[in-house]
Structure 1
Amino acid sequence: MKEKEKKELLASLYSDYRAYAEPSLIFVLKYADNTKYNTFKYHLDGASYTYNIALNNDFTGGGLDYRMGNRYFGEEKEFHVPHNRTGWAVIQPNRPLHVHRGVPLESGTRYAMINIIETNDAGSKGGPAWIMSS
C-alpha cells in the first residue's frame, strides 16, 4: 500500500470526520427450505450499506454468497459466508463490485434482520479517491 493510500485510510478511520446516515428500510427476512423465499438472485440493495443480522442458527445450509471484483478483467472472486452465528452481523457496501445473494437452505427456517442504510458519505459512493484515479 502506498503512503498516500495509508494516510487517506487512516484519516478516514481516525479523524473527526462525521457522516450522516439513516435507515431507509428495516425488516426481518424469513428463509424457509420449503418456500420460494429460500434464496434470491445476485443483487444490490440500492443504498449505501446493508447490515444483515443473523437471528437464529437452527437450520442447515443457507448463508450468503458474494461476487466481488470485475468479471470483465478476470478479477472476479466468489466466496460464501455461512452467517449462522445468532446476533452476528454481516455489513456490506452496496457497490457494483459487491453483489450478493441468499443461499438455499437444506432444512429449517432462517431469520435475518436487514437494515438498509443511506448515507451522505462520499466514500460509500465508489471508494477512496486513489481507487477511482488508478
Structure 2
Amino acid sequence: MEEVGFYDKWLEVLHKFVMPLQQKVFNGHIREPPYAGANFVVRYTPDVQRELRPHCDSSTYTINIALNRPRIDYEGGGCYFTRYNCSVTDSRLGWMLMHPGRLTHEHQGLPTTNGTRYIMVSFVDPDV
C-alpha cells in the first residue's frame, strides 16, 4: 500500500469499515488508530505461483480481499484452513475474509487452475 501511495487511505478503510467488525469478532483487541504491519497484493497463476503452502500469518488477524471474479477471471483458488478442514472458495469481488493469524489458523492458498487470481492481504495488529 505504501508503494502505491494508498497506506493512509487503507488505514481509513480499516478504521471506518473493518474495525467495527473486528471489535465484534475479536473482542478486546483494539488500537486507535488501527495498525496494519504488512499490506500487499498476491497474484496466483497456474504457471508462476499457483498456490501457497500451509502457514500461519504473523498478525493478530488477517484480511484477504478478492480483487477479481471467480469462474470469470480465474478458476480454482481459495483458502483452506488445515486445522478445521474448511475451505473458503469463490469469494466475490470486493468481499473480505478475516481470520486470526499466528498459531490458531494455519491455512494455505488453494491451487489456481486457470486465469489469474488477485487478492489484497493485510496483516492487522490492533494491539501493537
TM over 0.5: yes
Question: Moved runs in structure 1, 4+ residues, more than 4 A?
Answer: none
Distance (whole Å) between structure 1 residues aligned to residue 121 and residue 51 of structure 2 = 15
Per-residue displacement from partner, 1:3-49 (whole Å, max 9, x unpaired)? xxxxxxxxx74xxx7711300011111011111x1111111110101
How many residues align? The count is 98
- Give the Å deviation of 1:98: 0.8
8 A contact 1:54–1:112 mirrored in 2:
yes
Determine the structure 2 residue equivalent to 1:19: 30
The higher radius of gyration belongs to 1
**Which consecutive unaligned segments of at least 5 residues does structure 1 have?**
1-11, 69-76, 122-134
Between the aligned residues of both structures, percent identity stands at 32
The structure with the greater share of residues assigned to strand is: 1
The residue that corresponds to 1:74 in the other structure is: none
Q: Select which of 63, 74, 78 maps to 1:51.
A: 63
Runs (5+) with no aligned partner, structure 2: 1-22
TM-score normalised to the size of structure 1? 0.67
2:90 is equivalent to residue 96 of structure 1: no
Query: What is the root-mean-square deviation of aligned Cα atoms in Å?
Result: 1.9
Answer whether contact 1:52 1:89 (CA < 8 A) is retained.
yes
d(CA) in 2 for partners of 1:53, 1:104: 17
